Amino acid sequence: MNSLRAFLLQLSATAYAAIVSLGLSIAIAVLLGPAGFGAYAGVVAAASFLALLQDGGLRTLMVREYTAPTAGPAPFPAGLVSLACGHVLLTTGAIVACVMLLPVSAGKAELSWAVLAFGATTLLQLGSAVLRAQGAFGRDAGWQIAVRTVSALAILAAVQLFGPLPLTVFAAWAVALLAFVPSHPALRWVRPGFALTRAPYRAAAGFFIVDLATFIYNRADILLLSLLLPDQADVGRYAAGYRLFDGALLMAAPAATVLFRKLRLAHVEPAGFARLLRRSLASAAAIGVAAALGGWLFGPALARFFFGETYAGGTGDVMQWLALALIFALPNAVLTQAAVAGGAQRLYAGAATAAACVNLGVNLATIPVFGILGAAWTTIATEAVLWLGLRRRLFG
């Protein structure tokens, strides 16, 4: 399959998923109101953190090794899917058990269902990793569309029957996704493996550290806002703006997926790898500048259009500043793919860790004083630090 066709298939699937997800998020935000949506976003952020344990870095290792196995006496691909599926099942069960044993009652059910939903998502992502690494972008795109459609309909039906509550959304989402897992073409005949094999976990450890650092600089702001701000409505307004920022990054995901495969296959030839990286980086930078300009000019209008007057002020201001972060965030997506494809995950882990430390420090300093705008400014600073670290080391 040529690169253009693969890109268009992934773009169509991702665009569809992004539009449906954004529509659901907007509906939930409007129905719950800023304070309710802030609480909902806090559960999502907590479940996203726990999802790092469910993934364990194994998915990224699978993408790399199934695309082009690392040379060595004992290549990984043969048993990676089985090991990764077993890991997800074990960690999901353990996390849900720990949540239910917490000495509090508020939020336990919501978080438990959210963990199940993220566990199912991780399993489906493992299947997608196999299909994409094999170059089966069309088949993967079809599955993405089917999963998103059914899960969205399930959530909408549940909300109509039981009301717009976070528990309703998470439970319907989890049940819908879990129904898809056994029939996924890359998972259908996989028997989960529960033996703890040291070599794959050692190889995946770097990716786990990267994912942890990435979570900190992409998601810690919601958790810190929930803890540091007395008004959960402000958290909801920030979460609404960040949801649109996430949507912009999601639209870049198809290009990143196709680019990773090309970079991984080209990494054995340094000159070709460097040319491909430079061209891709220039394109990402140009798109980032254009997107930032559009977001700065139209952010408040978009916030009012999507979320209504109760969100317009704070969400619009947040969107303007987050749009500027795209100047660095889109090139960072290219540099990230290059680091992983070229086997430089330690380099990326170092840069991501530095960015995470900056994120935590600046958020703690600015949120108590400037509120949600401090979190938005921190996002710009974090993306800039990551860009500087990756670009300097990849290009010398």
Whole-angstrom Cα distance, residue 78 to residue 64? 13
Tokens, residue 203: 């190889």
The reported pLDDT for the residue numbered 377 is: 94
Residues 6+ apart with CB under 8 A from 40: 28, 32, 166, 169, 236, 239
For residues 326 and 379, give the distance between their C-alpha atoms in angstroms, rounded to a whole number: 10
CA distance 335 to 260: 10
Alpha helices in the chain (DSSP H): 3-55, 58-67, 77-100, 108-133, 137-162, 166-180, 198-228, 232-251, 253-266, 270-307, 309-341, 345-370, 372-395
CA–CA separation, 376 and 370 (whole Å): 10
Question: Among residues 259, 239, 262, which one has the least CA distance to residue 319?
Answer: 239
pLDDT at site 182: 87
Cβ neighbours of residue 82 closer than 8 Å, sequence gap 6 or more: 190, 191, 192, 193
CA 119 – CA 54 distance, rounded (Å): 6
Residue 118: helix, strand or coil by DSSP?
helix
> In the 8-state DSSP scheme, what is residue 57?
T
Check residue 28 and give its pLDDT.
83
Query: Per residue, what are the HEC states of 146-180?
Result: HHHHHHHHHHHHHHHHHCCCHHHHHHHHHHHHHHH
DSSP 8-state assignment for residue 343: T
> Could you tell me if 307 and 240 are in contact, meaning their C-beta atoms sit under 8 angstroms apart?
yes
- Residue 74 burial (10 A CB sphere; 0-12, 13-18, 19+): exposed
Helix axes 108-133, 166-180, angle to 10 degrees: 30
Contact present, 96 and 115 (Cβ < 8 Å):
yes
Q: What is the pTM of this model?
A: 0.74
Q: What does the pLDDT profile of the chain (396 residues) look like in tens digits?
A: 555 666 666 667 777 877 788 788 888 888 778 887 888 888 888 899 899 999 988 888 887 777 666 665 445 555 788 888 899 999 999 999 999 888 877 778 899 999 999 999 999 988 887 787 777 777 888 888 888 889 989 988 888 888 878 888 899 999 999 988 888 888 877 788 777 777 788 878 878 887 888 788 777 888 888 888 877 888 889 988 888 888 788 777 767 767 777 777 777 677 777 788 788 888 888 998 999 999 899 888 888 888 888 887 788 889 999 999 999 999 888 888 887 777 666 777 788 888 889 999 999 999 999 999 999 999 999 999 888 887 766 655
pLDDT at 311: 84
Q: Cα 200 to the chain's mean position, in Å?
A: 22
**Residue 8 CA to chain centroid, in angstroms?**
21
pLDDT of amino acid 71: 60
Considering only the C-alpha atoms of the chain, give the largest distance between any 2 of them, rounded to a whole number of Å.
Answer: 62
